[in-house]
Chain A
C-alpha cells in the first residue's frame, strides 16, 4: 500500500467494531487477536466495541456485514472491513493503515 514508514502513525482516535458469533472458537480467536494488536499498536487511542450478532442481528445492517468475524475500522476514514479471525497480523495492520511497531517490515 502506502509507504511503510516506522514513525508514520496516523493521528487521532481509532474507532473499531468487531462483529462475532457467540463464543465459537473463531470468534474467540478474533477477540484475542484484536486485543493484542490494539494493545501493541494503538495503546491508549482506540475504542473497541465487540458485537455478538446472535444477540443483536440488526447491528449488522448499518455497516453491511455479511459474515462474521469481521472487524470494521470506522474512524479514521476511510471505512475498512477485515474479515476472518485476524490471525494474519500484517493484513490487519495494513487494513488499519498502521505500520507494525518496532518490528521489521516482514515477519
Chain B
C-alpha cells in the first residue's frame, strides 16, 4: 500500500543513477564475454588474486628472452626447466638439448660443490656466487649466478629461478683496472723517491721548505725551515702573519710587500733579517718561491728558505778587502810621486847645506826644513806600508823579546795618565816579520789607545796563539794555521760599528786637524797583510777597544841580522850614469853624486842609457830608477845590460818595491836604494855596489 508512494519517492536522478549502474554491469559482463579484458581480479581469503587471461605475460617472456643475462628455472636438484637464448649461447649449446638437463653439466670439479652450496644455502629470498661455467666448446666463462626461490603456488613443486651474468668483460675490465692501479702505485713510489731525494738535496743545501696556502692562510713548513727560524718544538698553525712576525720590525713591511707582489708577479725572492727564536740572534735569510694559480687566481706560494748570514759576512769581507785594495793602489801612486818631491827637497837641502855660508839662522832653517822632509818621509813610509809596497825586511823574531826591548818607549809614548800592563806569553813564540814595522805598528796602536783615554786608563799589551781552521781563516782573508796575536787593549771611548768599518782607510780620522793623520791603522793593516796576517778589532763604545795584529807563527828560529852602526857619508871617484825620467829628481841625484866626488852622465830613459853604453862611453856605475815610463824601465835596462854590458855594476832606486818579485828572478847581488834617500844613504849604496864589483 505504501508501494506506489515509495516508488514515487524515488527521485528522477536516482533513477538515472540506477540505470547507469545497470548499464555498467552489463558492459562489464559483455567485455568479459567478448574477451576484451586481460585479467580478472578475484577476492579471496588470502587477498585479491589476479588471474591473467590470454598471453598477458607475453611481454615478460620477450623481456626475459631478449635480456643480456642468462635466465634459467631449475628444479630443486638443478635440472633446467627453462632457459633463455642468452644462457644457451653462454654455454654454447642448443636450447632444445638443455631443457631437462642438469645445469651441473656445465660446472667443472670444485665448482659443482660451490653450486650445490648455493642451491641449498639458507633458503632466503636471493643469493649469489661467482662461478666458472665450462662451455661446450671448452671455454671457461666466469659468471655471477644469483638464485631465488620461485614461489608460485603451494601445491606446485619447488622451483628456483636463476640469473647468470657473464663476467668476462668485467673481469677484463678489472684486470685493466688492476694494471692501472699497479702503474699508479709505481708512479707514487717513483714520486716518493723523487720527493725523498729532493728532501735529501734540500737538507744538504741546508734549505728549508715552506708552502703558503693563500685561500686559508696556512703555512706548512719543513723541519729544517723551523730550525732556521730557531723554532725548536714545532708550533702548528703558522699563517703569513706568524711568518712576518719572525722578521725584525724594520723588515716586516718589506717582506709583506714581497709576498703581496708575488701574487701577481708569480715569484718571490728576497734577503731579510729575522730574530731567531731560540737565541734571539739576528740572522739573514734568503727566501725564494713561486706562485701557483687556479683559474688565474693565486692560490699558493711555495718555496725554500736558507740562512745566508755567513755568506753575507764573507761577501762583506770581500767587499771590504776589495775597497782596501783599491785605496791601496791609489795611495801607492800618491806615495810614489810624493817620494820624488821629498827627494828633490831633501837633495836640494843637502846641497844647500854644503854651498851656503852658514850662520846660526841658516843652520836653524836648514835643520827645520830637513826635519820636515824626514817627517814627510815617515808619513810616506806609512802610506807605502798600507799599500803594501813597503820593503819588508823579514827576519825571525821573538815577539816577547821585541816587546820587552821597547816597553820603555811604550811607557813614554802613552804618558803618565795611562797604566801600561804587559802580559807575557806562556812560551816564546816566533814570527817571521819586519821588526821595525812591527814596532811602528804597536806604537801606532798604543798612541791610539792613549788618545782614546784622555782621562787615563789601562793599556794592556799581550801575545796569544790562535789556531785558525779554514773557515775562520777565510773569514779573515787569511790561510788556515797558527797565528801569534799581538793585541793592544784599552779602556777608552771605544768605537761605533760605522767607525770600525772605516778605520783602516788612509786619512780616516776622527781627531782634530793636526792631531790625527788617519794613517796609523792604515800602516798596521798594510803591514799585517804584507806579513801574511791580518788585523781584528773588537770595540764597544764607552768600554774600550782591543786591536789585535795576527802574524803567522814561524817554526824555526833563524839568526837575527846584526844591525849596522850609525853611518857616515863616504866619498868616491868614477863615472856614474844616472837614469831617471823625472828631471828634478835626476838633477838632485846628479848634484848629490858630483858632491860626493863622482863624475855624472845623465839619461832620461832606459834606451838612451843603452845608447850611451853602446857608444863605448866609460861608465863605472849605472844608477837607475826602477819605474820609468816608456818601453824600457829599470828592470828592462838591467836585463839588456846583462847581455851587452855585464861588467858595469848597477844600483837601483825606487819609491816603492812592488817590483821586488821581478827582481828576485834576476841575478842576486842587485842593490836597491829606497827613496827618499839622503846623501849619506846614497854614498853608502854607491860605494858598496862599486866595491862589490871591484
Contact = CB atoms under 8 A, between A and B. Distances in A.
A and B interact physically: yes
Main SS at interface, chain B: mixed
Interface string B149-171: 00000000000000000000000
A86 to B, nearest CB: 10
Contacts of A82: 27
B636 interface: no
A24 B36 CA distance: 12
Contacts of B20: 78, 80
A65 B36 contact: no
A9 to B, nearest CB: 19
Interface string A12-54: 0000000011111011000000000000000000000000011
A57 B28 contact: no
A67 B40 contact: yes
A73 to B, nearest CB: 11
B59 A24 contact: yes
Given A24-B52, A26-B37, A81-B24, 13 more contacts: A20-B38, A21-B39, A22-B57, A27-B38, A53-B48, A57-B41, A57-B49, A67-B38, A78-B20, A83-B36, A84-B36, A84-B37, A85-B36
Given A24-B59, A78-B20, A83 B48 contact: no
Contact of A83 (B17, B27, B50, B55): B27
Interface string A63-107: 001111100000000101111110000000000000000000000
A65 B56 contact: no
Interface residues of A, number: 25
Interface string B21-40: 00010011001100011111
A60 B56 contact: no
Contact of A21 (B27, B42, B56): B56
A20 B55 CA distance: 14
Interface string B167-208: 000000000000000000000000000000000000000000
A49 to B, nearest CB: 17
Contacts of B43: 61
A66 B27 CA distance: 12
A3 interface: no
A68 B58 contact: no
A58 interface: yes
Interface of B: 17, 20, 24, 27-28, 31-32, 36-43, 47-50, 52, 54-60
Contacts of B36: 26, 83-85
Contacts of A53: 39, 41, 48, 50
Contact of A65 (B31, B41, B57): B41
Interface of A: 20-24, 26-27, 53-54, 57-58, 60-61, 65-69, 78, 80-85
A69 B28 CA distance: 11
Q: Which 5 A-B pairs have the closest CB atoms?
A: A57-B48, A67-B37, A21-B39, A21-B38, A23-B59
B41 A66 contact: yes
A78 B17 contact: yes
Given A22-B57, A26-B36, A81-B24, A67 B47 contact: no
A22 B37 contact: no
Contacts of B57: 22, 24
A81 B24 CA distance: 7
Q: Which of B28, B41, B50, B60 has the most CB of A within 10 A?
A: B41
B39 A68 contact: yes
B48 A58 contact: yes
Nearest to A56: B48
Contacts of B55: 24
A67 B32 contact: yes
Nearest to B36: A84
A18 B103 CA distance: 43
A96 B41 CA distance: 23
A2 B274 CA distance: 101
A79 to B, nearest CB: 9
A22 B59 contact: yes
